[in-house]
Amino acid sequence: MELRQLPEEGLLPWYERELTEAFPPNERKPLADILALIHQGRYQVWGLFEEETLLGYATLWMEPTDQSYILLDYLGVAAAQRNGGLGQKIVRMLAERLAGRSLLLIEAECPVEGDDPAENTLRQRRQAFYKRCGFVPAYDMATCGMRFTTFLPDLPEDLAPVMAAHRAIYGPARTDVKVPLGPDEPPPGPPEWMK
C-alpha cells in the first residue's frame, strides 16, 4: 500500500465517487472551492492505493506560508474497504509523513445535547477513533455551525500558537470559525456554502 497525492485529473472522479458517497451535501465543500484551495497551495488530496486501486483518502488543508500546522479536512475509506483498519492506517501514515515538519490537527464533531441519538453515537465513535489513532483532545473550536474537539498527536506546553495557526488555516473570511470555543460559548452560524 502506498500513500500518494492525487493528480489533478484524479480529483473529479475522487469527488464524484468517494467524497459524494461518504459525506452529505451539507458537510461537503464544493469541488470548485477545493480546486481553488489547491491552486492557492492551501489544500492537498492524498490517496491510499493498492497498485492503482484507491482504498481510502485524506485531504489536508494548510496555510501556504506556514505549513508547520496541517488540518486533516476529510478522511474516508472506499465503501468496499470500510471497517478493515484502513482509516487508522491512513491517519498513522500521515502523522509519520508529517512528523518533525508539521503538526497534524484533527477536528471531530462533539455530541449535541438533544440531537438525534444515532448522530451523537456517530460523533462519539469518531472521537474514539482518533483517540485509538493515538491523538489526544486539546481544545474545542467551531466551524460550520458546530462544536468540534481538536485532536493533536500530543499536547504542547503552549496551545496558543497551535490555536492561532489553526484559525489562520481557514483564513479571515470564514466568520463561522472560532478557535478556541469556550465551554458555554455557542458556535457561530454556518458558512454560506452550507445554507
**φ and ψ at residue 109, rounded to 5 degrees:** -55, 140
pTM: 0.93
The CA-based angle 34-45-14, given to 5 degrees, is 80
Tens digit of pLDDT at every position of the chain (195 positions): 999 999 999 999 999 999 999 998 888 999 999 999 999 999 999 999 999 999 999 999 999 988 999 999 999 999 889 989 999 999 999 999 999 999 999 999 999 999 999 999 999 999 999 999 999 999 999 999 999 999 999 999 999 999 999 999 999 999 999 999 999 999 998 877 676
**In the chain, what are the domains?**
2-194 (3.40.630.30)
Nearest residue to 48 (alpha-carbon basis) of 96, 105, 99:
96
Residue 183, Cβ neighbours under 10 Å: how many?
A: 7
Q: Which H/E stretch holds residue 160?
A: helix 160-170
pLDDT at 190 (0 to 100): 85
- State how far the Cα of 96 lies from the Cα of 180, in Å rounded to an integer: 26
